[in-house]
Structure 1
């Protein structure tokens, strides 16, 4: 994976579903999500076992130090989560970062930020489906990966359109199952290392090896594993469905980043202890982790692969579909996107137009990513959208609250300037490490967004009001 991000979390078939499905028959959505629901939503979308899909790639690029890569990414996301925490109480809305930018900077900048969010969320479901398919293809090679992708896409689209509120329970059960699988990996992985000292061992070099450390390589690895974290921002897209819109999302984001950061680093460290040379991981960067897990028992490799395939192919991709549908629906209500994206179901309030559009785009992207781009580059492209918007979020806090925001209470220098400045610096450092190809595509997408905005607002005279649409 890369991640999330995701781009959201659980959604209609995973917690987000509870979000959008809890919507009323019109465009107004009911406040039904507690802080615990938001945490489940975020953790399902980010996936506690997310590194299973890309750990081999991260290990290879970081020269055998994936845990450090996840640590650096966690630091960046933690400071960004703090910036979110500053803005959420002031603007509790479904629009998130683009609303903040619209209010504190300009409507044009806000639209571009929203456009970059669309880039992240629109391609996330396809990435998750490909990762799920790769996990299954390792053990069922006779079925092409694109077939698994299409099957999963059909299932999540059907669930997303139904919008059943019972999915909150399903989300919690899915999260519990993922944590059980992760616990099995830790237990049997540790047992394997203890019983095979000749080929595996616990060592500090599995975390940090100064003789192999290279900052450029490490930041490239960080840019890859960042998607495992970026999903926490999707929680803000559900502000207008939170029971405590000013406190719930803020608490949920920080808790999620800390918990999952610890889990990601721990599983990365143990994996390197099981395969100190990294030969198994490097040999197959799409499925290397499952082979390492299989050292402790072939059954464990199969369990990890199937669990990750179901988590990504159903729950996380469904969350991503719900998140982008909610985002485009909100922007369309603000006259920033075509009106068909604002269409919602009369009975369940599901954003039907945006959901069907997302499904169609995902179908096309599945083949583009699977045959032309590749899993890792696709993940980095999603991170282009996520990291650029997170960078902008930190700038918005500095500008809006630190420089001109005298009207806001509770702002202090360290919260409104220092923390977001650190967050912006670390995020930008990761951002520039994405690679030239990703940058070219990302810049093209950004330019298209600017052109679209000018034509839409100036040429066709649409009044874009993202703040009002998300209120």
Structure 2
């Protein structure tokens, strides 16, 4: 590793957890509530429980692989080292969709929130301002960005706590049409398994973030211990918050048809439960959610590009450059900022479609990497190993395959088009696959 630029190893477990939670955007639970409530016929918390269980199997596979390959490349590195370097490049290329487009989505959401509050201000100003702020924050040492992200995440959690308090108070006083303590949001005799799975497939993407922390492995103290722990804590804490918040929201609104706009219900819910003052706090938390997610998604994208540049599958002089003072991949940070400005022309649906495809590719190949490494290469054959390295990944993959089946056609078309570009690049780079993409020493402690 001596001949390669290195990132600064300074992040502790609590940094990792807050970064992952910031990526997940806790306030998103209210943005998706109305849609999922309609799909599941009022069983949003049950759909979250199902999603969390399924996601934990994928989190387990990430944890297993990061212990073997503690580097910044995430699914790209795991696939390259266990299956095939060419396939690994294509996985990394596809995963870039997830990492590159999330900053754009956060820029678009920021414009939506602020344009609603200040309609006289041109929307492009909010996008440019957001991108400039996120880029500047990511130029500096990663601990600065992690600290800012941590404050924003804590504010979101505080807002959710206030929401729960107001919901309990309202339900106790007889507000809404539901009950304070009821199993109805989790189970009813009329609950349909297929609609529950459909709701879970929508909510799955609320958990993006537990996997993103693997791109920070080379900046984490004792990564083989802290990254796997961080992955599970992010998934568990985020899942618990989603379940609790959705339970009280569902208790207040068992029938979401009474909401004027179920697909954009969060401002209406906030106004109903706490008046104009809490609605203002609620919208401020939603805005900090996009900023926090914007910071950490920018970080993750720049680190994945760094890993691919250091492997020289992307030009190393640019993508593997680390600033000697800030110890950040400076050129990648600027590049992500420039790409994020495409939010000026993209719509929310298109950007989201790219993210969904990239995330599912990464999830699928991390499960396959576990089987390839532990079963095929290491020849683990004990009963415990069969469950850990075959059964567990296959259970996780079964849910991922269901998500693939339910993926909207737009995501598939755009994703395959992007993959084709990557395939052509790989074809040229490897001279029609006559040579392998170069690899580096992975002895990272």
TM-score for both structures, normalised by structure 2: 0.90
Q: Which residue of 2 aligns with 1:412?
A: 385
| Aligned mate of 1:430, from 403, 406, 410 | 403
Q: Distance between the aligned counterparts of 2:55 and 2:254, measured in 1?
A: 28
Moved more, 229-238 or 49-58: 49-58
Does structure 1 retain, via aligned residues, the 8 Å contact 2:91–2:362? yes
Q: Which residue of 2 aligns with 1:207?
A: 186
Q: Which residue of 2 aligns with 1:359?
A: 337
Q: Distance between the aligned counterparts of 2:353 and 2:342, measured in 1?
A: 18
| Aligned mate of 1:325, from 281, 302, 305 | 302
Moved more, 379-388 or 405-414: 405-414
| Aligned mate of 2:61, from 80, 83, 90 | 83
Q: Distance between the aligned counterparts of 2:26 and 2:7, measured in 1?
A: 28
Q: Distance between the aligned counterparts of 1:462 and 1:240, measured in 2?
A: 28
Q: Distance between the aligned counterparts of 2:174 and 2:272, measured in 1?
A: 10
Does structure 2 retain, via aligned residues, the 8 Å contact 1:335–1:465? yes
Aligned to 1:268, what secondary structure does the other structure show? helix
| Aligned mate of 1:382, from 355, 364, 372 | 355
**CA RMSD of superposed structures (Å):** 2.7
Displacement of 1:64 in angstroms is 2.9
Pair 190,147 (structure 1): closer, same or farther in 2 beyond 3 Å: farther
Does structure 2 retain, via aligned residues, the 8 Å contact 1:334–1:468? no
Displacement of 1:191 in angstroms is 1.3
Q: Distance between the aligned counterparts of 1:273 and 1:335, measured in 2?
A: 53
Does structure 2 retain, via aligned residues, the 8 Å contact 1:130–1:149? yes
CA shift digits 1:20-65 (9 cap, x unpaired): xxxx9x8212321122221122122213323233323333333332
Pair 357,463 (structure 1): closer, same or farther in 2 beyond 3 Å: farther
Pair 120,210 (structure 1): closer, same or farther in 2 beyond 3 Å: farther
Q: Which residue of 1 aligns with 2:47?
A: 69
Displacement of 1:223 in angstroms is 3.0
Q: Distance between the aligned counterparts of 2:377 and 2:435, measured in 1?
A: 29
Does structure 1 retain, via aligned residues, the 8 Å contact 2:353–2:414? no
Pair 235,99 (structure 1): closer, same or farther in 2 beyond 3 Å: same
| Aligned mate of 1:274, from 236, 245, 252 | 252
Q: Distance between the aligned counterparts of 1:326 and 1:47, measured in 2?
A: 20
Q: Distance between the aligned counterparts of 2:5 and 2:384, measured in 1?
A: 34
| Unaligned 5+ runs, structure 2 | none
Moved more, 161-170 or 226-235: 161-170
Q: Which residue of 2 aligns with 1:401?
A: 374
Displacement of 1:466 in angstroms is 4.5
Kindly tell me the number of residue pairs found equivalent between the two proteins.
440
Q: Distance between the aligned counterparts of 1:468 and 1:98, measured in 2?
A: 15
Q: Distance between the aligned counterparts of 2:239 and 2:74, measured in 1?
A: 23
| Aligned mate of 1:456, from 429, 441, 445 | 429
1:184-333 to 2 correspondences below 5 Å:
184-197=162-175, 199-202=177-180, 203-211=182-190, 213=192, 215=194, 217-279=195-257, 281=259, 283-285=261-263, 287-298=264-275, 299-312=277-290, 314-333=291-310
TM-score for both structures, normalised by structure 1: 0.85
Pair 139,246 (structure 1): closer, same or farther in 2 beyond 3 Å: same
